[in-house]
Structure 1
């Protein structure tokens, strides 16, 4: 009996976990916050596009979402550059359901992902 359980456990550990299928969208909806004025702005971007938000340039590289449930989450690859200092403030993936996990670090502005847009 113990051998059978050990063999089953070894087999289970040897099999890779099933990856969730993702789909790619043509664009994304982001939200920006100016911490000084308290104003929020919705930012719509297509893949490969950039938009100026205050002194920042926000560029969307890609937006992915779970294929089986498009409204559940969004993962956006963003590059955020401070144009006044010519410095990249953020480059990576932001996740809509966990904005603090991978966040933009700027004293004045916040930018986060709301959803992917087709």
Structure 2
């Protein structure tokens, strides 16, 4: 009985989810960095495959994706963030512009989040 109920609930829930959208790849991303110590925020432009420096962290953009046909719709940026001179990243993963807290950088001094993708 419980299994049947769970199966019905899961089927109904799956039917309510929006369809997965196709994604286009941008040429880079605009990120925003916050220095928590000084309170200053800075916009950071970085191209796919390149590294930008913000304070004492190095931010490498793997790629930036956005919904097909809607460049301003959302941004999904794959970032690797390292402390300067450290081999292990403090963050590695996808950041989503519309949900910055979903997968956030956990750093004592800096905050970094994705704003949008750039195109050619």
TM-score (norm 1): 0.82
Q: Distance in 2 between matches of 1:71 and 1:27?
A: 14
- The structure that has the greater radius of gyration is 1
Question: Could you list the runs of 5+ residues in structure 1 that have no partner in the other structure?
Answer: 1-9
Cα pair 1:63 1:77 within 8 Å, conserved = yes
Give ranges in structure 2 of 5+ residues lacking alignment.
Answer: 1-10
| Cα distance, 1:98–1:18 mapped onto 2, change above 3 Å | closer
- Deviation (angstroms), 1:57: 0.4
Q: CA RMSD in A?
A: 1.6
How many residues end up aligned between the 2 structures?
Answer: 104
Are 1:105 and 2:97 an aligned pair?
no
Does the CA-based 8 Å contact 1:81-1:90 persist in structure 2? yes
TM-score norm. by structure 2 comes to 0.81
Residue number in structure 2 paired with 1:79: 80
Q: Distance in 2 between matches of 1:60 and 1:84?
A: 18
Q: Distance in 2 between matches of 1:109 and 1:84?
A: 16
Q: What is the DSSP-based 3-state SS (H/G/I as helix, E as strand, rest coil) of the residue aligned with 2:112? A: strand
1:117 alignment partner in structure 2: 118
Query: How many Å separate the matches in 1 of 2:87 and 2:55?
Result: 14
Q: What's the offset of the Cα at 1:85?
A: 4.0
1:5 is matched with none
Q: For each residue in 1:42-86, what CA deviation from the matched residue of structure 2 results, as whole angstroms up to 9, or x when unmatched?
A: 000000000111110000000000013211100000000012544
Moved more, 79-88 or 67-76: 79-88
